[in-house]
Structure 1
């Protein structure tokens, strides 16, 4: 079963929730992990089971990075706000570097997240989107 991490800056949380709703059928077959607030919102608004790490500002992104190092993740969706990210939000730089070192794909936009999820669906033989 693929394991995917979900992270979103504050302004991107509605986008990641919409993505989770659209891909709910597929994501229900995945092992999901997320930073604290993002995971809480996704679980509450979709009913998906999400393992929650700490919130990003207090190390949740670092915990997810450790999972990359331990080869426990198949991909990361990190929807970031490239223009107005706040100082308390997780920084993508270290996480992106560790993903590059360990060849783990990271999607940073809605479109790239769809490609990542569609690719994992193809590998597992699952249907990607609930509406299809």
Structure 2
């Protein structure tokens, strides 16, 4: 699967509770760049992103982008997002996770991050990295990521003896 990322990216925005304020500040600061793309958010983060972007667009007489809202992370939102990545429906993940707070759905978080790496999805886990991604010259261009060929893994023989 070698899909070309279009100019209009499909960007997932996720933040743990203790990082939601940071995410909303980042979204408010970068609203103009984000408004040119399709956004996906899990649970409360999706709701807050939608509200923040809409407010900024109204203040600046701009059209708000589509924001797809998934379930909350602990209720399956991380898994929904992982599935979207597997299906080629996500181009980038901005995930402000909290390294100091244990999460009840830690295995889902790890699985989501693993799938992001497996499918070579640009992933930011903090504000600095998100700033680098959004300011990259590739952010508003088509891009063809190189996806590792895992067909050998899928077609491997398994000795059942």
Normalising by the smaller structure, the TM-score range is: 0.7 to 0.9
Aligned residues: 124
- Structure with bigger gyration radius: 2
User: Does structure 1 conserve the Cα–Cα contact (< 8 Å) formed by 2:79 and 2:108?
Assistant: no
Query: How does the TM-score come out when normalised to structure 1?
Result: 0.85
Any stretches of 5+ residues in structure 2 without a counterpart? 1-7, 55-63, 142-161
Cα deviations by residue, 1:36-79 (Å, 9 ceiling, x for unpaired): 11010121233154110011111111111111111111110010
**Residues 53-62 or 82-91, more deviating:** 82-91
In the alignment, is residue 81 of structure 1 matched against residue 98 of structure 2? yes
Q: Which runs of 4+ in 1 moved over 3 A?
A: 88-91
State the distance in 1 between where 2:107 and 2:12 align: 14
| Aligned twin of 1:104 | 121
| Aligned twin of 2:9 | 2
Larger helix percent: 1
Any stretches of 5+ residues in structure 1 without a counterpart? 126-132
In the alignment, is residue 118 of structure 1 matched against residue 118 of structure 2? no
Secondary structure of residue in 1 paired with 2:88: coil
| Aligned twin of 2:32 | 25
User: Does structure 2 conserve the Cα–Cα contact (< 8 Å) formed by 1:32 and 1:51?
Assistant: yes
Secondary structure of residue in 1 paired with 2:74: helix
Instruction: Give the CA RMSD over aligned residues.
Output: 1.8
